[in-house]
Amino acid sequence: MKLTFQARSVIEAEGDVLVVGGYAEEMRLSPAVAALDRALKGLLSEVLRSEKFEGKPEQLAYVHTAGRLPAKRVLVVGLGKRKELDSERVRRAAALALRRSRDLGARIVSTALLGEGLSPKLRAQALAEGALLGSYTFDRYKREKNKKAIEELRVVDRERRLDVHVRAGLRLGEIFAAATCFARDLVNEPANQVTPAYLARAATQIAKDGRLELKIYDRAECQKLGMGAYLGVAQGSLEPPKFIHLTYRPPGRARRRIAIVGKGITFDSGGLDLKPADGMLRMKDDMSGAAAVLAIMQALLTLGPPQEVHGIIAATENMPSGSAQRPGDIVRAMNGTTIEIGNTDAEGRLTLADALAYAVKEVRPQEIIDLATLTSAIVVALGNGCSGVMWNDKLLADRVLVAAGAAGERMWPLPLVDEYRELLKSDVADLNNVGPRGGGAITAGLFLKEFAGATPWVHLDIAGTAFSEKDLPLGPKGGTGVGVRTVLSYLMAFSEKDLPLGPKGGTGVGVRTVLSYLMVQTGRR
Ligand code: BES
Ligand code: ZN
Ligand code: ZN
């Protein structure tokens, strides 16, 4: 889908469909809709009335223009109450309108810049994201393809001076959405395709296209580095493990060094603590964190933030076999910590233990963000619409949470209760890899915390949000690409201004600056 800007009014807009927005609880039509209605001799308002269009989110109505306007149809999409408007409303409205336009067979769609009150750049970005994410499909393996595709989305606005802002927003939205769809593809591909070697090949391609540095460690090299926790998980599988380290270096001197770590279990059978059939069915999605990392790294070259960013993935399968790790085994992670295997199905934290220890030791970043489909406990706690956030550094977590808000991805904090640390005690090793059932997302977070050490770190548990069993406003069932836009927003927001960073165990310095800065961005006053 080509995204363009045209300086002209909605009345002059061409295309198979022209999209405009309608607000809830407003008696009068917005000026744009009113102008269209006049041109259509009242037909539009009549249809809106008879279709009971109230401007609520998820509502839409359209009319054929029968030659009275250059556009073939006018489609009005609900944006909800004006005072509740944010970028997410615009994304969802755009997604809905574009899906409907596609179903109508439209090839060229014009749209007004939806969402008055937000900045033109944000409105354009949200439009692009909504349009591209909402029309995502995964039909590689189907005989019947979704042939219909919109070729061009034209943003129209009378004001020519908006040109640069709109184009910048469209471009940003396009990059964010493309990265998200890239992650979705990786998650939707089955585990017989996406093996650790496949992820390594994907990283190689990204490095080549984007001129990133890449190091892939095989089993023997990981052994030398002392990654006993990661290799313990890998030993049951016939697929060789691949430890992937991609580096993006900005032009000039880097402002900060950030490591993004993704859980990369290409299939989680549970290991010898085998999952029941129901629980195993979806476990190709256990590399969603890794998919997000690859997508983020790929987007960086076009985005060009001023930080040095490291993408780290300890990729492996978790399989049962004669060579698989046993419950009760003891392994030693790269930082020297010994771990008793209480349950082979708690494998994500074992692979992340070495990925985090590696990041701390070899990259020495100022901050680490990890993304992991880590626990079913997070699904119990937060359901499927919200990711869990845990940290050892509140300042960093606050900033990531604000970025999530700007990206429209729901995330919520869980406390890493100090006292729960003892639930991970082992009689024979430094740590056990599992705690009791209650607070499972938190004990998993506490386990990871041991390996982040003193480095500011934030952990996103995306087990509930990485894959959807039902269609969502911004995409069909399947991989969601969650986390990609949050992390990209984070990297971009904090690169446009050099904001104060505050010391570790921070006092909160900078939080208000950053919050105000981002609130201006999301357009809420
Ligand atoms: N990959 C799973 C977590 C998961 C569950 C992801 C549901 C997506 C949807 C993880 O490796 C796992 O199996 N965790 C166990 C840990 C338990 C054995 C302590 C869990 O959460 O049940
Ligand atoms: Zn598992
Ligand atoms: Zn897992």
Closest residue by CA, ligand 1 atom 16: 346
Predicted local distance difference test score (pLDDT) of residue 255: 87
> Could you report the per-residue pLDDT of 106-136, keeping only the tens digit for each?
999 999 999 999 999 999 999 999 999 999 9
Task: State the pLDDT at residue 522.
Answer: 58
Q: In ligand 1, which atom is closest to the CA atom of 437?
A: 19
Indicate which CATH number applies to the domain containing 292: 3.40.630.10
Alpha-helical (H) ranges within 135-236 are: 163-188, 196-210, 219-225, 228-234
For residue 368, the SS3 value is strand
Report, as ranges of residue numbers, the positions in the chain whose pLDDT lies below 70: 494-510, 512-513, 516-525
The residue from 127, 154, 179 where one domain ends is: 179
For residues 287 and 322, state if they share a domain. yes
275 classed as catalytic: yes
Ligand 1, residues at Cβ distance < 6 Å: 268, 286, 343, 345-348, 373-377, 379, 434, 440, 463
Ligand 3 mean position, distance from CA 268 (Å): 5
pTM of the complete model: 0.94
Of all protein residues, the one whose alpha carbon is nearest to atom 5 of ligand 1 is 376
Same domain, 215 and 83: no
Distance (angstroms) between ligand 3 centre and the Cα of 379 equals 13
Ligand nearest to the CA of 463: 1
**What is the SS3 assignment for 301?**
helix
Give the atom of ligand 1 at the shortest distance from the alpha carbon of 286. Answer: 1
Domain that holds residue 271: 189-494
Same domain, 147 and 261: no
In the block, tokens 């030993």 appear at: 235
68, 275, 421, 524: the active-site residue:
275
Going by alpha carbons, the residue nearest to atom 13 of ligand 1 is: 345
Assigned domain for 521 exists: no
User: Does residue 106 sit in the same domain as residue 212?
Assistant: no
Give distance in angstroms: CA of 344 to centre of ligand 2: 7
The answer to whether 219 is a known catalytic residue is no
Residues 371 and 433 in one domain: yes
pLDDT of residue 27: 85
| 181 φ/ψ angles, rounded to the nearest 5 degrees | -70, -30
User: Exposed, middle or buried by CB within 10 Å (0-12, 13-18, 19+), for 111?
Assistant: buried
